[in-house]
Copies of this chain bind each other. A is one copy, B any other.
Amino acid sequence: MSITVVGSVAYDSIETPAGRRERCLGGAATYFSLAASFFTDVRVIAVVGEDFGPEQEAVFAARNIDTRGIEHTAGKSFFWEGSYLENLNEAQTRNTELNVFASFEPKIPAAYRDSEFLFLANIDPILQRRVREAMPQVKLVAGDTMNFWIKDHRPALLEVLKGLDVLLINDTEARMLAGNNNLVQAARAVRALGPRALVVKHGEYGATLFRDSDARTESAFKAPALPLEQVIDPTGAGDSFAGGFFGYLASQPELTPAAWRRAMFYGSVMGSFACERFGTERLQQLSRPEIDARFNHFRELTHLD
């Protein structure tokens, strides 16, 4: 089943201990779609400027990603500049230029309206809600957010959460959203705000899925992260996790407990690949056999037998 994703398609200038890249293709919707495209059909809603040309278009085309919902407009694309020199787990933002994103009004192509899965990447919750309401037919809606929206746009964010089936955020965001430092209690509080499933990402320590395994039993499932010899660039790892996770779910005929568990592993697998090169380089070169080989590696890394 196909996924529609709304989010940023952008340019990133990135500095890490491994080096520096200027204006590489980035943005949450880009990482998400590339990762999800290995599992299912993906359709993107975004806005770009005149600096987005055939070369960038070709990155999506190579993975059969539908870009009819990427609006081209006068001006420059969203731009982000950050570094990980201090800490590979957390970017220091040097510069953010919203550019054409400042006046983004998501438009949903008619051809997208039969998508059964919807992913609301990290953008203004007002826009997330608008897209959600414009696609009432979807079966499963997942979303992401960040500290900025949690702190300063809480009422709008709470409205979005009511319409989400799955929320994917990191530890700090979960604790901030719940106002509770204990992760189990924070997870319960966040789920009470709407999403029946919550994925908390722990960076290099993997991720935990909190959901009800049946009507009475709350359960948790942990996916590891691969211990990486070299983290070249962590940009987009969380969005790639979301793409692998949601892409795998969308590829399944039925959302069984086993499907949710495997989705967590595929999320972690895609996040680990994203870190191996700058920007989207690794996701562009990836193959499904490589993905499944790493999935098996993750199983060996955690399974007793």
Residues of A bordering B, CB below 8 Å: 88, 181-185, 187, 202, 204-206, 208, 219-222, 224, 227-231, 258, 261-262, 265, 299-305
A302 touches which of B204, B222, B227, B305 (Cβ 8 Å): B222
In the complex, chain B residues whose CB is within 8 Å of the CB of A205: 202, 205-206
Structural contact, B227 and A261, CB atoms closer than 8 A: no
A258 touches which of B187, B219, B304 (Cβ 8 Å): B304
- Identify the 4 closest CB pairs spanning chains A and B, nearest first: A205-B205, A184-B229, A222-B224, A184-B227
For the complex, give the distance between the alpha carbons of A301 and B303 in Å. Answer: 11
Given A304-B258, A304-B262, A204:B230 Cβ within 8 A: no
Q: Which residue of B lies closest to A301 (CB)?
A: B222
In the complex, chain B residues whose CB is within 8 Å of the CB of A229: 182, 184-185
A-B contact pairs, 23 of them (CB 8 A): A88-B181, A182-B228, A182-B230, A182-B231, A184-B227, A184-B228, A184-B229, A187-B227, A202-B205, A205-B205, A205-B206, A206-B222, A220-B227, A220-B301, A221-B301, A221-B302, A222-B302, A224-B302, A265-B304, A299-B304, A302-B302, A302-B303, A303-B303
In the complex, chain B residues whose CB is within 8 Å of the CB of A184: 227-229
For the complex, give the distance between the alpha carbons of A227 and B205 in Å. Answer: 13
In the complex, chain B residues whose CB is within 8 Å of the CB of A206: 205, 222
Structural contact, B261 and A304, CB atoms closer than 8 A: yes
Structural contact, B304 and A304, CB atoms closer than 8 A: no
Given A202-B205, A205-B206, A206-B205, A227:B304 Cβ within 8 A: no
Query: Would you give the shortest CB distance from A176 to chain B, in whole angstroms?
Result: 16
Q: Which residue of B lies closest to A224 (CB)?
A: B222
Query: Would you give the shortest CB distance from A49 to chain B, in whole angstroms?
Result: 37
For the complex, give the distance between the alpha carbons of A305 and B302 in Å. Answer: 12
In the complex, chain B residues whose CB is within 8 Å of the CB of A183: 204, 227
For the complex, give the distance between the alpha carbons of A261 and B305 in Å. Answer: 9
In the complex, chain B residues whose CB is within 8 Å of the CB of A88: 181
A304 touches which of B181, B185, B303 (Cβ 8 Å): B303
For the complex, give the distance between the alpha carbons of A230 and B188 in Å. Answer: 13
Q: Which residue of B lies closest to A231 (CB)?
A: B182
Query: Would you give the shortest CB distance from A86 to chain B, in whole angstroms?
Result: 11
Structural contact, A305 and B258, CB atoms closer than 8 A: yes
Q: Which residue of B lies closest to A202 (CB)?
A: B205
In the complex, chain B residues whose CB is within 8 Å of the CB of A202: 205
In the complex, chain B residues whose CB is within 8 Å of the CB of A302: 221-222, 224, 302-303
Structural contact, B208 and A227, CB atoms closer than 8 A: yes
In the complex, chain B residues whose CB is within 8 Å of the CB of A265: 304
Query: Would you give the shortest CB distance from A170 to chain B, in whole angstroms?
Result: 13
Q: Which residue of B lies closest to A219 (CB)?
A: B300
A182-B229, A222-B224 known; 15 new pairs, CB 8 Å cut-off, are: A182-B230, A184-B228, A187-B227, A202-B205, A205-B206, A208-B227, A219-B300, A221-B301, A221-B302, A222-B301, A222-B302, A224-B302, A261-B304, A262-B304, A265-B304
